[in-house]
């Protein structure tokens, strides 16, 4: 069996694709994969490092600006798009996939469109509760649409019959993780209540600032803190942190780190997560049943992170705070309300676990197999 996978730009499109690939390899060891992405996207490094064959094509996303420069850029983008379709057709003709899977990002548009024109079964996956422009464009052409949130079902007007709720493949990949002693690697006690605070791999300026503003209070709390700044912010933030926290508290219960490689393992071992509300992060924490405080990024298409967070908040799995309303006082108050109330946290964990689609990859694979002759 041969499967062509495409998707990229951000980890939210890439990691679900790789989780799906890994699960297919477990079930169908003789499957051959080709991943099509771009040179610029994170996929150009992540996918080859994962041991998956990778081929790039050149394609760009559209600018929303109506300026002369924006219009000129979009004219070039259209030209690249049609060129990418032709290259994708050649790749498809050479590789001869049994099915094509797109996980979003602008690179998946020409590839999936080319596949449909070659009469190759094509399935797209939408991770967010609000469908992206690429997947909306592809909806009428593809064989099936898988979604990670129930709320996304009504995002594909006129193509609802193609929509299947599978959840996010990343959820199944991490679902089996259990609490471990990984906190010891950060000089913390794995048996103590711990909150993990992070704003994504690159960090989030507002979250970082509010944590700094709360530093003197955080080190006095009866719970531990892991504060992930993002690599580009680490030197500045850690210096300010050490200036704010006096010598009596520096090494007690809070650690500042630039990045965590084994994030799902840490999720499984903490009491509470504070984060943005990207689809992959939510897939991981719900599959593990971790309570959360979600601070949606305001700088995303159609404010989809706010809608993602509301899907957890409405069932009591998370507390959502608008970035514009975030302050040190509200931050500390919300942390205390959850970390000092074991019963409330346990109920949130139960609701998060109920949302987690722990067989997401298997459901998506079953959907794919229905179209493979």
275 known member of a binding site: no
> Is 305 known to sit in a ligand binding site?
yes
Q: Does the annotation flag 224 for ligand binding?
A: no
What are the residues whose beta carbons fall under 8 Å from the beta carbon of 213, sequence distance 6 or more? 327, 328
Distance (Å, whole) CA 213 – CA 207: 10
| Residue spans of alpha helices (H) in the chain | 11-27, 43-49, 68-95, 108-117, 133-138, 169-174, 205-213, 215-218, 234-244, 263-267, 279-288, 304-313, 328-339, 342-355, 360-369
Computed on alpha carbons and rounded to an integer, the radius of gyration of the chain in Å comes to: 22
| 289 in a known ligand binding site | no
10 labeled binding residue: yes
SS3 198: strand
Count of CB atoms situated within 10 Å of the CB of 140: 12
262 marked ligand binding residue: no
Cα 126 from Cα 108, distance rounded (Å): 12
> At CB < 8 A and 24+ separation, what contacts does 184-187 make?
186/226, 186/255, 186/257, 187/251, 187/255
Ligand-binding site membership of 9 (annotated)? no
Binding residues for UDP-N-acetyl-alpha-D-glucosamine: 10-12, 128, 201, 260, 305
Binding residues: 10-12, 128, 201, 260, 305
């Amino acid at each position: 069996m041969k499967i062509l996978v495409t998707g990229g730009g951000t980890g939210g499109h890439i990691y679900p694709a790789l989780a799906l690939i890994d699960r297919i390899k477990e079930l169908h060891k003789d499957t051959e994969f080709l991943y099509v992405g771009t040179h610029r996207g994170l996929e150009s490094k992540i996918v080859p490092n994962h041991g998956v064959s990778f081929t790039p094509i050149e394609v760009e996303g559209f600018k929303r600006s109506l300026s002369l420069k924006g219009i000129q850029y979009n004219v070039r983008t259209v030209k690249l798009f049609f060129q990418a379709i032709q290259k994708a057709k050649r790749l498809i003709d050479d590789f001869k996939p049994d099915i094509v899977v797109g996980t979003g990002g602008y690179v998946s548009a020409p590839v999936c469109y080319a596949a449909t024109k070659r009469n190759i079964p094509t399935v797209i996956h939408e991770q967010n509760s609000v469908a992206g422009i690429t997947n909306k464009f592809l909806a009428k052409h593809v064989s099936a649409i898988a979604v990670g949130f129930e709320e996304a079902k009504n995002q594909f007007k006129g193509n609802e019959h193609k929509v299947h709720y599978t959840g996010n493949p990343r959820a199944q990949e991490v679902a089996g993780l259990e609490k471990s002693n990984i906190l010891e690697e950060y000089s913390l006690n794995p048996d103590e209540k711990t909150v993990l605070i992070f704003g994504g791999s690159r960090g989030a300026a507002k979250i970082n600032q509010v944590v700094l503003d709360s530093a003197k209070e955080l080190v006095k709390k009866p719970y531990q803190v892991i504060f992930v700044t993002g690599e580009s912010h680490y030197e500045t933030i850690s210096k300010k942190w050490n200036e704010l926290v006096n010598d009596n508290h520096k090494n007690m219960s809070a650690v500042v780190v630039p990045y965590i490689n084994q994030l799902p393992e840490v999720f499984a071992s903490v009491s509470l997560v504070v984060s943005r509300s990207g689809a992959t992060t939510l897939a991981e924490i719900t599959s593990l049943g971790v309570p959360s405080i979600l601070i949606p990024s305001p700088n995303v298409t159609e404010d989809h992170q706010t809608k993602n967070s509301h899907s957890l908040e409405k069932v009591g799995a998370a507390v959502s705070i608008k970035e514009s309303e975030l302050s040190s006082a509200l931050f500390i108050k919300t942390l205390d309300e959850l970390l000092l109330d074991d019963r409330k946290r346990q109920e949130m964990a139960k609701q998060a676990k109920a949302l987690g689609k722990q067989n997401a990859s298997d459901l998506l694979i079953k959907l794919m197999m229905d179209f493979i002759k």
